[in-house]
A and B are shown apart, each in its own frame.
Chain A
Amino acid sequence: MPTPDPRAASSELKFRDPVRARAMVRALGRITDAIGRSPVSLMHVCGSHEQAIAKYGLRASFPAALRVIMGPGCPVCVTDAREVDEGVALALQGVHIATYGDMLRVPGSAMSLADARAEGAQVHVIYSAGQAVELAERVKEPVVFFATGFETTAVATAAIVLKGLPDNLSILSAHKFIPPAMDVVASVPGLAVEGFLAAGHAATITGWGVFEPFAERHHLPVVVAGFEPLDILAGLVRLLELVRDGTPAVVNMYPRCVTREGNLRAQAALWEVFEPSSGRWRGISVVPDGNLALRGRFAGLDARARFTIDVTPLARHAPPALAESCLCGSIMTGISSPTDCTLFGEACTPDHPVGACMVSTEGTCRIWHQYGGQPDLGDLA
């Protein structure tokens, strides 16, 4: 037998221990039975949770009566076509666009940023907000940072703004704030979500206390969970217990990273630079206070104030025929699964994505495709 590597063992045993995982899977079965309804629907709102669930094949171990669905947890996917149009319009005007790689192929009304680049526009992929500053210092010409992502990446944008931007750099904010979107999804008729699994990394910044008003308003439990398989299983067990007991509480199951208050310095930076505003999330609806807009005192840095952005020629464009059968909208609200979509894995693949959910590595369809696309292996259990 090959000698086991103690380093490998120590890193894997802790949060990937199959024995403890099986015990928790059994607990999920017991509690679901005790609840006695079918299905019991729980929602998570994070691409990284879906990645772990898919990668470790957890869904095949869940009891048949338990539905764990992914809500609007992919910031790239919920970026509205109109926001993409703004970036495309600026790029076609000759402005340098800096954005994260996942945004490149997200379809707008008429074209994506990648299409604009193919037509000669200057679209640059960056990996951090700081690289937008470096790009602006290098090219001298006007640069717009098309800034996307939830509160986690919005903090990074806030940090460069507070540090001071080069004169030729401005911000096109498509940043989104998760808690208001949870409000919207919790009210979707017919969805019947009975509890939410909240993303541990966002809560590291916001603190778990941010979910308390939500839990009270909707009488729904929220559990903050980490991203290792045992984190997720433990989070789901706790969430099911709260559902069973009818306790609409917020419970932190990721205490090694998350506190009640969160990262106060990051929050201060976030809210100093941004304010909540209402806007459309792709596939969902207008989310009241779901967007993060630059505050008035930073209007000089706001690309929307600095440039005239005319998206009407793009927005008039009829959507491509395939896009009409795309289910991204109902997949992002958790009403449908990728396998309900006739395009999934056939006309829509990571090479040739039709909808935004197949573009981003955080998108439900992309994740399902990467990990085999078919979670139901119940006949082998």
Chain B
Amino acid sequence: MSQRGLDDRIGLKHGAGGRAMRALIEQVCLAGPGGGPAVDGIGPAAMDDGAAIRVGDRWLVLTTDSHVVDPLFFPGGDIGRLAVCGTVNDLAVMGATEVTALTCAIILEEGFPRADLERVYASMRAACDEAGAPIVTGDTKVMGRGEIDGLVINTAGVAFCDRPVPDAGLAPGDVVIVTGTIGDHGMAIMAARHALSLDGDLRSDVAPVNGVVRAALRAGGAGVTAMKDPTRGGLSSALHEMAQKSRVGILVEESAVPVKHDVRGASDLVGIDPFVMACEGKAVIGVRPDAADAVLAAIRAHPLGRNAARIGCCLAQHAGAVILDTGLGRRILAESDGEPLPRIC
């Protein structure tokens, strides 16, 4: 296996959700004997949003996610809300929208303000209520000052479903739907982190998507062929993964992709495409063409899906590639690699 993309030291790009991160997982985490044991269902080799294991006539879906974010509190949310939604959303896009239970492990830095921790927990409880997802067990550790940056939260989640939906199930002709505007979370974080004084309302979209995904699955049934949540690496990474794993090309109409005016303005200014900016309250859903209208209508009827749009379709040609129709021409959408940094000048 080629070692390209894997350097001697781990860089930030290896956690950024793009090509470099997938190379690291393939070359280290899944390499060699004992790496990636077979699961009857969806296992680690699939590198999906979670795993699915057959239990009787149903499927147990489980996932885990560690959350670090700078700043801990940002417009539209905080690390607590992010930690709950991240795991609920990973389960949801596997097709498991009714969450049985979550776990929550936190690692705190010595000296962390108690009031901030209370605020984070209040926010987690509120997000759990929204998602209908109870936290049933947890763990707390404290590390010395400087040994960890403030607060790290790991959550894991389990849920049952009748049919897991992989991210690899797209077929030529399938319609691709996104459940709302893209790039909101990434741009809000970037503006807060780099203290960019940008005009407009830049707020994270962090929210549990299990409700809107439930609506899509009820309307589309087996016509829903693939799902993914476009977190790190944004819509671009999600589409690339789906195209590569499903061995289809995806043709995206750029003008159909919903982007808030303020996000577009800010992205033009800092020189980063909204396509590579993270979403934390959206799902990308592949649907058979005959089910597309019903699924889109059901998503739009949900409060978190009002801006949902049909953004493209799957092709037999250009398998593994994402092609962007700009309205003026067409090009390959390059896959993001590494942490997007704002243009300074």
Contact = CB atoms under 8 A, between A and B. Distances in A.
Nearest to B261: A5
Interface in A1-43: 2, 5, 7-8, 16, 18, 21, 25
B261 A374 contact: no
A380 B251 contact: yes
Please indicate which of the listed interface residues A2, A58, A101, A127 has the most CB atoms of chain B within 10 Å of its own CB.
A2
B327 A377 contact: no
B344 A377 contact: no
Contact of A371 (B315, B328, B334): B334
Interface in B327-345: 327-334, 337-338, 344-345
B307 A57 contact: no
B10 to A, nearest CB: 14
Please indicate which of the listed interface residues B317, B326, B344 has the most CB atoms of chain A within 10 Å of its own CB.
B326
A381 B331 CA distance: 11
Given A2-B306, A127-B345, A380-B323, A372 B261 contact: no
Contacts of A16: 327-328
Interface in A181-231: 229
A369 interface: yes
Contact of B334 (A25, A56, A370): A370
Contacts of B329: 21, 25, 56-61
Contacts of B331: 54-57, 59-60, 371-372, 375, 377
B335 to A, nearest CB: 9
Please indicate which of the listed interface residues A61, A346, A377 has the most CB atoms of chain B within 10 Å of its own CB.
A377
Q: Is the interface of B mostly helix, strand, loop or mixed?
A: loop
Q: Is the interface of A mostly helix, strand, loop or mixed?
A: helix
A119 interface: no
A372 B322 CA distance: 9
Contacts of A5: 261
A346 B334 CA distance: 14
B325 interface: yes
Interface in A74-99: none
Contact of A229 (B251, B307, B315, B328): B328
Contacts of A369: 334
Contact of B328 (A58, A101, A351, A381): A58
B258 to A, nearest CB: 7
Nearest to B344: A127
Interface string B304-316: 0011000000010
A369 B255 CA distance: 22
Contacts of B337: 351
Given A2-B258, A8-B261, A372 B332 contact: yes
B101 interface: no
Contacts of A59: 329, 331
A374 B237 CA distance: 18
Interface in B7-65: none
Contacts of A377: 318, 323, 330-332
A2 B307 contact: yes
A61 B333 CA distance: 16
Contacts of A276: none
A373 B328 contact: no
Interface in A333-381: 346, 351, 369-375, 377, 379-381
B135 interface: no
Contacts of A61: 328-330
Contacts of A351: 337-338
B306 A56 contact: no
Given A57-B328, A57-B331, A380-B251, 18 more contacts: A2-B306, A8-B264, A16-B327, A21-B329, A56-B329, A57-B325, A57-B329, A59-B329, A60-B330, A127-B345, A346-B4, A351-B338, A371-B334, A373-B332, A374-B332, A377-B330, A379-B317, A380-B315
28 contacts: A2-B307, A5-B261, A7-B261, A16-B327, A18-B255, A21-B327, A55-B326, A56-B329, A57-B324, A57-B325, A57-B329, A57-B331, A59-B331, A60-B331, A61-B329, A229-B326, A229-B328, A233-B328, A351-B338, A369-B334, A372-B331, A372-B334, A373-B332, A373-B334, A375-B331, A379-B317, A380-B318, A381-B330
